[in-house]
Amino acid sequence: MKKVTIKDVAKEAEVSPSTVSRVISDSPNISKSTKEKVRFIMDEMGYYPNAIARSLVKQKTRSIGLVMSRPTDRALANPFFSGVIQGIAAVAQEKNYSLLLTAADNYEDEYQEALKQLKVGRVDGLVLLASRINDDLIKQLLKNNFPFVLIGRSQEFPSIPRVDNDNYKAAFDLIEKLIKSGYKDFSVLAGHKDYVFTGDRLKGVIDALKAHSMNLDPVKIEFTDFTFKSAEQSAYKILSNHKTDALIAFDDLLGMAAVQTAEALGFSVPDQLGIVGFNDHTLVSYLKPSLTTVKIPIVDMGERAISMLIKMLEDSSYTGEEEIISTEIIERESLKFI
C-alpha cells in the first residue's frame, strides 16, 4: 500500500498539485466546486498531507520538546511531573502540536539531547521542567536564540520566559500561619539541594522565622533525594535527634515518608508533631492521616508554560514573560492550624 501524495490526488482530480495544496489550506480563492471535487478525491484515496514535507518547506515542525532535567525514571515517578505533562499535553493537542519526549540517563546527556533536537530542527521549541541550579542548558538556549519556556526559576538568568509559583512567598506565608497557630520548634525536610525551589522555600522559611525573632536550627534541616528511602532516613535523623513540633517537607512524597517515620518512632501526628507537605498530589489526601499541604497548581503551570511557548512561536513580536501562580494552603489531618 503505497502512500498517496499530493500529485496522485492532483492527477485524479485533474487539477494541479498547487490547487490541491490550496484546498488543503482552505484558500479563499479556490472555487467551491473544485474544493468539493478535490476533497472528495482526497477522501476517496485516503490522502493525508505529509507532515515532514510540510515541515521542510515551512521550516516549522509544530512539535515541542519536553525536558525533565532529571533522570526520566525518577522524574516520572513523581506526580509533579505527571501533573505538568497533563497540562502540557492537553494544550498541545488542542493547538495541534506534537510533544517530543527527550530522555536520558543523566542530566547532562538529557540536555544535550534536547539541544540537539532543536539544532537538527526536529522541534520548534522547548519546555523545561524543574531546572537545576546549574543551568547550562538555558545558557545554550539563550546563546542560540532558541525559543523555550522554563517551569521554575533560573538563578543565573532571572528574566526569561517562565512560569512558576512564588516558592519563597509560599513558604514564608506557611510559616507565618504556623507561628500564629502556636508552633515553635520547626524542622525542614528539604528536597535535593540542586533544585532552585529548594533554596527558595528554605529562604522563605528562614526569613519568616527571622521576622518573628525566631530561627531555624541548621541541624533541623535535612536535604534528601526524592526517593522514599532517602526521605525516611532524613526524617529519622531529624526526629530521633531533635525536638520539633512542626516538620515542613518540601514535597508531599517526603511528607508522606515523614509521617510514617514519625509514627514508627511513636510520635502521634498531628498531636505531638505536625507535618506539612508541598504540591498536593492526589494521593496524599487519601492517606491516614491525610496530609496538610501547600497546593501548587501544577497542571495549570504546565498549561500556561506551553501556551506561552506556542504564542512565542507563532507571534514573533511576543518574546514571553514571567507568570507567577499563587499557591494555597490545604489543611488536612497531619497538621492543624490554631
Q: In the chain, where do the E strands start and end?
A: 63-67, 98-101, 125-129, 148-151, 162-165, 186-190, 221-223, 246-249, 274-279, 292-295, 322-325, 328-330
Closest separation between CB of residue 27 and DNA, Å? 7
Q: Of DNA, a second copy, none, which one does residue 103 interact with (CB within 5 to 8 Å by kind)? A: a second copy
Are 115 and 81 in contact, with CB atoms under 8 Å apart? no
Bridge partner residues of 98 (DSSP): 63
Nearest to 171 by CA among 192, 193, 195, 199: 199
User: Does 155 participate in binding a second copy (rule CB under 8 A)?
Assistant: no
Q: Which residues contact 315 (CB under 8 A, 6 or more apart)?
A: none
Q: Classify residue 217 by its DSSP letter.
A: -
Closest separation between CB of residue 121 and DNA, Å? 7
Q: Of a second copy, DNA, none, which one does residue 317 interact with (CB within 5 to 8 Å by kind)? A: none
Q: Of DNA, a second copy, none, which one does residue 154 interact with (CB within 5 to 8 Å by kind)? A: none
User: Does 265 participate in binding a second copy (rule CB under 8 A)?
Assistant: no
User: Total residues at the site for a second copy (CB under 8 A)?
Assistant: 58
Closest separation between CB of residue 145 and a second copy, Å? 6
User: Does 89 participate in binding a second copy (rule CB under 8 A)?
Assistant: yes
Determine how many CB atoms are found less than 10 A away from the CB of residue 246: 22
Per-position x/- string for 124-153, each x denoting binding to a second copy as judged by CB under 8 A, each - no binding: --------------------xx--------
Three-state DSSP at 14 gives coil
Q: Classify residue 15 by its DSSP letter.
A: S
Nearest to 128 by CA among 161, 156, 106, 104: 161
Among the listed residues 35, 39, 122, 311, the single contact to a second copy using CB under 8 A: 122
Nearest-Å Rg of the Cα atoms of the chain is 25
Q: Of DNA, a second copy, none, which one does residue 328 interact with (CB within 5 to 8 Å by kind)? A: none
Per-position x/- string for 46-65, each x denoting binding to a second copy as judged by CB under 8 A, each - no binding: --xxxxxx-xx----x-x--
Are 253 and 226 in contact, with CB atoms under 8 Å apart? yes
Q: Of a second copy, DNA, none, which one does residue 22 interact with (CB within 5 to 8 Å by kind)? A: DNA
Q: Of a second copy, DNA, none, which one does residue 112 interact with (CB within 5 to 8 Å by kind)? A: none
Name the residues that contact a second copy, by CB under 8 A: 1, 3, 48-53, 55-56, 61, 63, 66, 72-73, 76-77, 79, 81-82, 85-86, 89-90, 92-93, 98-105, 109, 113, 116-117, 119-122, 144-145, 227-229, 232, 257, 260, 263-264, 282-283, 286-288, 299
